[in-house]
Amino acid sequence: MDILQTYGFTLIVVAALVGFLMAWGIGANDVANAMGTSVGSKALTIKQAILIAMVFEFAGAYLAGGEVTSTIRKGILDSSYFIESPELLVYGMISALLAAGIWLGFASYLGWPVSTTHSIVGALVGFAAVGVSSDAVAWSAVGGIVGSWVITPAISGFIAFLIFQSAQKLIFDTDKPFDNAKRYVPFYMGLAGFVMSLVTIKKGLKHVGLHIEPADGYYIAIAIAILVGLIGKYAISRVHYDAKADKRTHFANVEKIFAILMIVTACCMAFAHGSNDVANAIGPLAAVVSIINSDGEISSKAGLVWWILPLGGLGIVAGLALFGHRVIATIGNGITHLTPSRGFAAELAAACTVVLASGTGLPISTTQTLVGAVLGVGMARGIAAINLGVVRNIVVSWVVTLPAGAGLSILFFFVLKGIFAP
């Protein structure tokens, strides 16, 4: 107890710093995944992508980011093991953040597409299992994460497949693709708006202090969806029709319309990413703060202190603004034959999956859902070539990340314990 009272403020500052570092890392390179397809399909320029990402990442983090936080804080670790010595949990959370942040930086340096979510989970499991007791880890929750390596890509792949097929049926495989694109694309925009606003209302807004009745939530979401659809319709009506471009099919013109849709899905993706991944940085931080502020009491229901969510959001935005452009820039020419229509199916599906998973509190990785979605569109014969070798590497990196995060956090945990021990 003494330790927490004596060093309480120092520990909070340290935790805030490493939390910010972690958020910075997430923003700096994970966001490239979320925005990459939009830039790759030339629907957005890099500057536009960063601007959209900043606004929507922050909005996602702030408005819908609260739900996953509690899973990471309480779902994976059994807090009863820390009641006797809460300072261990504080050290653990700080070392987990530091471990995950460092692993993230190291992997990005080597160019490995690791999952930020899994690094923090691995780190949490690591210090708890070795530093405290292997019973302190809710292994079933870890099992769920391992299961998510298969389930999440499968779900998002399936959604992507359906979205791509529906676009084929309604737009591309018709006599007048351009007219049909004008007719149906607003509905896709509406769908994106609906999913986004529904999750925000149902899961996120209570953290901000707003309470909305469930039924009202649906009405509001539908209203927002319609609004988004109407704005989209207006934007589409302003698309310049180029009569010279392939007279027969007008696919080039259709792609222009999908490019507008792509902007909506990019917003959606950034929002989903923010809502899901900000928790990685702020979850452990929130735990530290609540323990110290309550003098070592580990309460089952700790409200977020007001400055934590904005800190995470700002960290992501800052990382994105200062380093994100470098990561996104390398993408620009790497992708061939990724047109807006194909990118859109992958992104909208991934965004839906992340947003839905964020709603259920399962800590999934954005990369996972995107890989699943891309494979889904590929299965529908919508993407010219997918490098299965890279897919394999990504999957391997998911597996490696858990033990790597664990090892680092064990190390930092004992270092911290040594420093602050009386």
Partner 1 sequence: MPTNTFLGVFAKSPLKPLEDHIKVVNKCSQGLLPFFNSVFAGDWEKAALFQKEISNLEKQADTLKRDLRISLPRGIFMPIQRQDVLELLTQQDKIANKAKDISGRVLGRHMDIPVVMRESFMAYLERCLDATKQAKRVINELDDLLETGFRGREVRLVEDMIVDLDKIEDDTDVMQVAVRRELLDLESQLNPVDVMFLYSIIEWVGELADISERVGSRLELMLAN
Binding site for partner 1 (CB under 8 A): 28-30, 32-33, 36-37, 40, 107-114, 164-165, 168, 172-175, 246, 248-249, 251, 254, 323, 326-327, 330-331, 334-339, 341, 367, 370-371, 374-375, 378, 380-394
| Shortest CB 266 distance to partner 1, Å | 14
Tell me the C-alpha distance between 281 and 316, whole Å. 9
Tell me the C-alpha distance between 376 and 60, whole Å. 25
| Shortest CB 249 distance to partner 1, Å | 6
Give 209 or 389: the residue with its C-beta nearer to partner 1: 389
- Residue-wise over 120-151: b if at least 16 C-beta within 10 A, else e? bbbbbbbbbbbbbeeebbbeebbebbeebbeb
Give 158 or 420: the residue with its C-beta nearer to partner 1: 158
Contacts of 133 (CB under 8 A, 6+ apart): 81
| Shortest CB 227 distance to partner 1, Å | 30
| Shortest CB 103 distance to partner 1, Å | 12
Is residue 119 within 8 Å of 104, Cβ to Cβ? yes
Give 197 or 397: the residue with its C-beta nearer to partner 1: 397
| Shortest CB 4 distance to partner 1, Å | 37
Closest CA to 39 of 259, 208, 209, 360: 259
Among all chains, which residue has been given the structure tokens 């957005």? 44
Give 67 or 277: the residue with its C-beta nearer to partner 1: 277
| Shortest CB 197 distance to partner 1, Å | 27
Give 67 or 347: the residue with its C-beta nearer to partner 1: 347
| Shortest CB 41 distance to partner 1, Å | 10
Give 111 or 214: the residue with its C-beta nearer to partner 1: 111
Tell me the C-alpha distance between 373 and 343, whole Å. 10
Is residue 319 within 8 Å of 24, Cβ to Cβ? yes
Tell me the C-alpha distance between 197 and 191, whole Å. 10
* DSSP state at residue 323: I
Give 358 or 365: the residue with its C-beta nearer to partner 1: 365
Q: ∠ CA(198), CA(204), CA(205), 5° rounding?
A: 90
